[in-house]
Amino acid sequence: MTTESRELTDLKSRIERNFTTGAPAAGRDDALSAFLELRYALEAGKLRAAEPDASAPTGWRVNAWVKRGILLGFRIGALTEMSGGALSFIDKSTYPARIFTAEDGVRIVPGGSSVRSGAFVARGVVMMPPAYINVGAYVDEGTMVDSHALVGSCAQIGRRVHLSAGAQIGGVLEPVNASPVIIEDDVLVGGNTGVYEGTIVRRGAVLAAGTILTRGTPVYDVVQRTILKATAETPLIIPEGAVVVPGSRAVTGGYGKEMGLSVYTPVIVKYRDEKTDLSTTLEELLR
């Protein structure tokens, strides 16, 4: 076992112990020390709330103990006044806003964006105002977080992802074993799109503006002639390269049929090709 592995094993043990015992006053110093170590590791990208794992059914493994550590930070923190650049906040003392320098290589355009401590933001990420990245989130290299976009707690965002204006990537802390939303590399998330409840969007997929994906949302794949749904064991998974648009499905019975009503449903209308790629190159001009 390497030194780093031993340190992580020790940190996990300390987090689990303090979370289970409720971090009483006698152990608060150890709880705070363990939490700060966890928070710094999250910000450095050394720890993740969920990480790729080829042996897992979905290709991702949830690190429940990391989420317990995040929750521990809320438990032991106290409300305090704090500042982040030109903005001021009142939040738990354990979660100040992150302060970046030019050496970090993250471009945060003026206008009210914020990144909570405990979030990883890689070099080459661009944030347009106002945007927000919550604790436990992981945003990889070259990603664009556009105006009014949200990256929720523990959400995992891959390389070269474009989160368009108004995109909402849901977060999750509890239950601790629940999978967060995962957006893999090279995904385009259109404006006013919402991805929630542990949905996984595979590499290279395109979500058209206004698409909403949840655990209870069936997705109709008209190319493969299948219906994609979450199961008790796995979340909703959008396939690699899928192009998803908002659609509707006719109500086939009762009063809904009588009134000619339909319900919303996402539809996979094609899989990504050269024409789709050409329509996504505009973001490169903004970097």
Q: What is the CATH number of the domain that holds 144?
A: 2.160.10.10
Q: Is residue 217 in a domain?
A: yes
Q: Is residue 92 in a domain?
A: no
pLDDT score for 83: 75
Q: Is residue 71 in a domain?
A: yes
Residues 152 and 267 in one domain: yes
For residues 184 and 195, give the distance between their C-alpha atoms in angstroms, rounded to a whole number.
13
- What backbone torsions phi and psi does residue 263 show, to the nearest 5 degrees? -120, 155
State the residue range of the domain holding 56.
3-76
- The number of domains in the chain is 2
Closest by CA position to 201, among listed 167, 160, 235, 246: 235
Residues 61 and 144 in one domain: no
Burial label, 203 (beta-carbon count in 10 A; 0-12, 13-18, 19+): middle
Residues 146 and 34 in one domain: no
Residues 108 and 238 in one domain: yes
Q: Is residue 287 in a domain?
A: no
Residues 121 and 211 in one domain: yes
Residues 151 and 265 in one domain: yes
Residues 27 and 159 in one domain: no
- What backbone torsions phi and psi does residue 39 show, to the nearest 5 degrees? -60, -45
Mean pLDDT of each 10-residue bin along the chain, 287 residues long: 80 94 68 96 97 96 96 94 77 93 96 95 97 98 98 98 98 90 97 97 97 96 97 95 96 94 96 73 50
Q: Is residue 279 in a domain?
A: no
Residue 109 sits at the vertex; the CA angle it makes with 129 and 119, to the nearest 5 degrees, is 75
Closest by CA position to 251, among listed 240, 262, 265, 259: 262
Q: Which of 31, 47, 76 lies at the terminal end of a domain, its last residue?
A: 76
Q: Which of 76, 108, 127 lies at the terminal end of a domain, its last residue?
A: 76
Q: Is residue 210 in a domain?
A: yes
Q: What number of other Cβ atoms are within 10 A of residue 89's Cβ?
A: 14
For residues 157 and 159, give the distance between their C-alpha atoms in angstroms, rounded to a whole number.
7
Residues 19 and 110 in one domain: no
pLDDT score for 26: 47
For helices 28-43 and 3-21, the axis angle rounded to 10 degrees is: 130
pLDDT score for 15: 96
Q: Which of 44, 76, 108 lies at the terminal end of a domain, its last residue?
A: 76
- The CATH number linked to 66 is 1.10.166.10
Closest by CA position to 126, among listed 136, 115, 137: 115
Residues 12 and 147 in one domain: no
Q: Is residue 88 in a domain?
A: no
Q: Is residue 284 in a domain?
A: no
Give the 3-state DSSP-derived string for the chain, with helices as H, strands as E and coil as C: CCHHHHHHHHHHHHHHHHHHHCCCHHHHHHHHHHHHHHHHHHHCCCCCCEEECCCCCCCEEECHHHHHHHHHHHHHCCEEEEEECCEEEEEECCCCECCCCHHHCCEECCCCCEEECCCEECCCCEECCCCEECCCCEECCCCEECCCCEECCCCEECCCCEECCCCEECCCCCCCCCCCCEECCCCEECCCCEECCCCEECCCCEECCCCEECCCCCEEECCCCEEECCCCCCCCEECCCEEEEEEEEECCCHHHHHCCCEEEEEEEEEECCHHHHHCCCHHHHCC
Residues 128 and 70 in one domain: no
pLDDT score for 285: 47
Q: What number of other Cβ atoms are within 10 A of residue 63's Cβ?
A: 19
Residues 30 and 161 in one domain: no
Q: What is the pLDDT of residues 140-186, one digit of tens each?
A: 999 999 999 999 999 999 999 999 999 999 999 988 889 999 999 99
Residues 200 and 137 in one domain: yes
pTM: 0.93
Q: What is the pLDDT of residues 196-228, one digit of tens each?
A: 999 999 999 999 999 999 999 999 999 999 999
Cβ atoms of 94 and 77 within 8 Å: the answer is: yes
